[in-house]
Amino acid sequence: MPKSSRFRSAQTVTVLAVTQLIGWGTTFDMLGVMGRVVAPALGLPNEVAFAGLTIMMMVSAIAGPVTGRWLGRYGAARVLSAASLTFALGLLLLAAANGIVLYACAWVVIGIGGAFGLSAPAYTAVVEREGVNGKRVIAILMLFTGLSSAIFWPILSLLNEAVGWRLTFLVCAALQFFVCLPLHLFALPKPIVAQAEGSTAGIAPVPLTKAARRKAFLLIAAATTITTFITFGISPSLLEIFRQSGASPAFALQLGSARGVLGISARFLDMLLGRRGNPMLSAVMGIGLMLISFLTMLVASPSAPLLITFVLLYGFGAGVMTVARALLPLALFSPGEYGLQSARLPLPQNLANAIAPVVFTAILDRAGTGPALFACAALAALSLAFILMLMGLVRGAHASQPSPVAP
């Protein structure tokens, strides 16, 4: 890779890593520290305060298709800049909240900002600047953004202790306006997809017909929505599953922490593979490991080695699938289509994420660990079937291409 290309890639990663860390840390991850501080101050039950995340995810889902069209029309840098302004406004509303109405309005605004600024628009910014070779850069970016809660939880906790929750939200708004907005506007390299690559921006890696592209999108949407439903649903209940399986509270907490580390390790592996990695094979591996982890818990007797094995398989598989979800559209659609297609995916995913914790908690509380894990295994098997169907569609598209004629 030429030195100038390496510098452009490093600049892109640096800018987006900083802004995504701030974006996730001051919005989605923020309630982990601030939720139980804000709730009594506003006279709200804790569950109502945490419902802000449900509002955020549902609004982001609804705004996803609009985001996709804006990414294609205006480019990722302008959409990300709009996200910084929207986040800043939402955080200002949070700082001024005096009851449930303004609190809910703040999360509606933050949800719009989430559609404009988290994940898909950032990955689109990478593809605009790296083209089809952006897989490694996206994996590197995901490696950094996976650390957002680990970085921001201590910062938010210290700020809250020093200045109180209202000023903490003002500081978060200032980070969006004075750090993220200038970086999005002035520090991102110019896109190359519409310039140097020219016509290649419209060339897809897989020669699919219009009907086959629609089917491919639906298969990706189905498979990724199911896996995100599993991971978002099981995450809040993971410690309870460990406890019901015989783990002490301290051991359960250690297992939960290890799961997060394994997820980051999986992202690191994808970063090392870079452009040589195949997102469809990664998806098969990730879902397969998750499925094996659930089946292992169902057929084996509870024990410490079993729980460690489960965490190893599930944590690594879920981490691999997190990266695959972001890269699957790039493996099938052209760089010019990536923004539109990847921004449409959060609609079903976020709607699933909004209800998943409620569904899994209800199953776990009313039926126990076994039925909850069986539901996870059945859903993982269905998701794996969709990915295999997608691979069959791709093989069929390649097979239908005429063979080159020898001179």
Per-residue pLDDT of the chain (407 residues), as tens digits, is 555 677 888 899 999 999 999 999 999 889 888 988 999 999 998 878 888 988 998 899 899 889 988 998 999 999 999 999 999 999 999 999 999 999 999 999 999 999 999 988 999 999 898 876 777 788 788 877 777 877 888 899 999 999 999 999 999 999 999 999 999 999 999 887 554 444 455 566 677 788 888 899 999 999 999 999 998 888 767 878 888 888 888 888 788 777 767 777 666 666 665 555 688 888 999 999 999 999 999 998 888 889 999 989 998 898 888 888 888 888 888 777 787 788 888 788 888 887 887 788 888 888 888 999 999 999 999 999 999 999 998 888 777 766 544 44
- Give pLDDT tens digits for 242-276: 888 888 888 887 887 777 677 776 666 666 655 55
Distance of alpha carbon 326 from alpha carbon 322, whole angstroms: 7
Q: Which domain holds residue 297?
A: 204-399
Q: Are residues 327 and 192 in the same domain?
A: no
Q: What's the number of domains the chain is made of?
A: 2
381 assigned to some structural domain? yes
Name the DSSP letter for residue 207: -
In CATH, what number is assigned to the domain containing residue 356? 1.20.1250.20
* Dihedral angle computed from the Cα positions of residues 109, 113, 116 and 118, in that order, rounded to the nearest 10 degrees: -140
Return all residues near 398 (Cβ < 8 A) that are at least 6 apart: 206, 207
3-state secondary structure of 23: helix
405 assigned to some structural domain? no
- Give pLDDT tens digits for 145-188: 777 877 888 899 999 999 999 999 999 999 999 999 999 999 99
Q: Are residues 261 and 386 in the same domain?
A: yes
Q: Are residues 44 and 143 in the same domain?
A: yes
Q: Are residues 379 and 364 in the same domain?
A: yes
Distance of alpha carbon 8 from alpha carbon 13, whole angstroms: 9
Distance of alpha carbon 344 from alpha carbon 332, whole angstroms: 15
Q: Are residues 233 and 316 in the same domain?
A: yes
406 assigned to some structural domain? no
Cα-flanking dihedrals φ and ψ of residue 247, to 5°?
A: -80, 145
Q: Are residues 17 and 139 in the same domain?
A: yes
Q: How many residues does the chain have?
A: 407
Distance of alpha carbon 104 from alpha carbon 58, whole angstroms: 12
178 assigned to some structural domain? yes
Q: Contact 89/181 with Cβ under 8 angstroms?
A: no
Cα-flanking dihedrals φ and ψ of residue 46, to 5°?
A: -55, -40
Distance of alpha carbon 241 from alpha carbon 277, whole angstroms: 33
Angle between helices 135-145 and 3-25 (to 10 degrees): 30
Structure tokens at 250: 């301290």
Distance of alpha carbon 296 from alpha carbon 293, whole angstroms: 5
- Give pLDDT tens digits for 48-74: 888 898 899 889 989 988 998 899 899
- Quote the longest CA-to-CA distance of the chain: 79
Distance of alpha carbon 368 from alpha carbon 213, whole angstroms: 41
Q: Are residues 258 and 324 in the same domain?
A: yes
Q: Are residues 157 and 254 in the same domain?
A: no
Instruction: Give the angle 354-255-47 at the CA atoms, nearest 5°.
Output: 30
